[in-house]
Amino acid sequence: MLDAKSVFKQHYGSAPAHIVIAPGRLELLGNHTDYNEGLVMSLAIDKYIGMAGSPRPDGRIELVSSAFSNGDQFSADNPVKNPNATWADYIKGVLVQLRQRGIRFGGFNAAIHGTIPIGAGLSSSAALEVATALMVRQLYPYAVGSTAMAGPLKRDAQGELPPLGVQEKLVLARLCQAAENQFVGVNCGILDQVSSLFGKANHVILIDCRELSVQQTPLPGDVGVVVCDSGVKHALVAGEYNDRRRQCEEAARALGVKSLRCVEPKQLAAHRSKLGDSQYRCAYHVVGENQRVIFGERALRAGDFEQFGQYLYQSHESSRDFFRNSCPELDLLVELARGHRSCLGARLTGGGFGGATINLVKVAELEDFQRTIAAQFKGRTGRRMQPMSCRIVDGGQ
């Protein structure tokens, strides 16, 4: 089986000193809430970015990836963009952020191999960022405080580094988000990076993006998770994403609050006239999503998955009708899922405008669900779509 270690050996002719992995994520509930200081639930899934690496003495960094024919090489002191290897921007962005926090590292060779489908909205980019931060930690051990380097880090007798603590994970998540915002130029929130770091096997991650606090709550084994990739890759994703984000921020300003997190449904209704149509639609979606996460958490803790699933359907409808980040293929996938007796809930996951749906399905009928939806999607669109059943896993290490 191809993995980061074998890609490393093939390219560099020796075994790597370290291997790290970081999982992709699924947004379970709470769409476009993260950058509005809101609430969101997610899962880390068994699709990964693996990175194998060894230090090198000459201060150079060399990168290869099984997914791209072009590798890259640059000085560890000066990671600059290379138009022939834009995939490496996610890595360079993290290196720049580490340096800015006073973390010292030298050169290294690295090989990357991933199982997260690219462009399906499962956050291969955040996983690549997290894998980079973890790899540098293995190669040139560092400890991070809230804003900067917090001193050297020692390996134990077995040569292992201490596991990352909660605060360190939060700092790394912020650092990786900053890499994407500032170096790559995508104005994303913090959902993807937190999910890749805080994943816990068979648990849902609950993130409060205002407090930046994370909790984990179990998802029982009789509920399965299936991803259906619509195959639609929207050409203007970044533009649409940034546009919605701007509408949300304008709506908050017009309502006189710091963020849409501060807005209750009643308040939004009472002040609707202060907002333009698009601002209102976006705000309505975000305010509703925050409510659904609160109610969804109660349903989860009470073990009421039928009710929890209803919030997923409602979330999708709100995306489709208000936030307008769905597309006909995603709507069709949710409609087909809803028609299957074993489906508890389904919705688009992540940024939208294409990408994938998440489906909660009774485990006993997982296979029938996948077969049926694939056949129906083929019948309606003529296109092949292979549903993926996902396990919920631990975060990057």
Tell me which residues are annotated as active site.
Answer: 192
Q: Contact at 8 Å (CB) between 180 and 125?
A: yes
Q: How far is CA 351 from the centre of its chain?
A: 10
- Of the residues 19, 23, 28, 34, which one makes contact with ligand GLA according to CB under 6 A: 34
CB of 138 to ligand GLA, least distance (A): 26
Token pair recorded at residue 169: 């994970």
Toward ligand GLA, which CB reaches closer, 103 or 205? 205
Torsions phi, psi of 59, nearest 5?
Answer: 75, 10
Helical ranges in the chain per DSSP H: 4-12, 89-100, 124-139, 166-178, 191-198, 237-254, 265-270, 277-301, 305-318, 328-338, 366-381
Toward ligand GLA, which CB reaches closer, 4 or 122? 122
Toward ligand GLA, which CB reaches closer, 89 or 192? 192
Query: Which of 224, 226, 228 is CA-nearest to residue 386?
Result: 228
3-state secondary structure of 77: coil
Q: Which residues, 6 or more positions from 273, have their beta carbon under 8 angstroms from its beta carbon?
A: none
- Of the residues 8, 11, 31, 237, which one makes contact with ligand GLA according to CB under 6 A: 31
- Which of these segments, 9-17, 29-37, 220-228, 331-339, binds ligand GLA (CB under 6 A)? 29-37
CB of 180 to ligand GLA, least distance (A): 8
CB of 31 to ligand GLA, least distance (A): 5
Size of the site for ligand GLA (CB under 6 A): 11
Q: Write out the binding residues for ligand GLA, residues 105-134 only, by CB under 6 A.
A: none
CB of 244 to ligand GLA, least distance (A): 9
- Which of these segments, 27-35, 62-70, 150-158, 217-225, binds ligand GLA (CB under 6 A)? 27-35
Q: Which residues, 6 or more positions from 131, have their beta carbon under 8 angstroms from its beta carbon?
A: 20, 21, 22, 49, 50, 51, 112, 396
d(CA 72, CA 63): 5
d(CA 295, CA 317): 17
Distances (CA, A) of 193 to 167, 169, 361, 391: 14, 9, 26, 18
CB of 340 to ligand GLA, least distance (A): 25
Toward ligand GLA, which CB reaches closer, 34 or 168? 34
Q: What binding mask, one character per residue, do residues 311-330 give for ligand GLA by CB under 6 A, x or -?
A: --------------------
Q: What is the DSSP letter of 87?
A: G
- Of the residues 8, 20, 23, 27, which one makes contact with ligand GLA according to CB under 6 A: 27
Q: Write out the binding residues for ligand GLA, residues 337-376 only, by CB under 6 A.
A: 350-351
Neighbour tally for 204: CB within 10 Å: 20
Toward ligand GLA, which CB reaches closer, 290 or 370? 290
Toward ligand GLA, which CB reaches closer, 61 or 176? 176
Distances (CA, A) of 68 to 14, 117, 161, 307, 316: 21, 13, 31, 43, 34
Q: What binding mask, one character per residue, do residues 172-211 give for ligand GLA by CB under 6 A, x or -?
A: ----------------xx-xx-------------------
- Which of these segments, 30-38, 42-50, 162-170, 307-315, binds ligand GLA (CB under 6 A)? 30-38
Residues near ligand GLA, by CB under 6 A: 27, 31-32, 34-35, 188-189, 191-192, 350-351
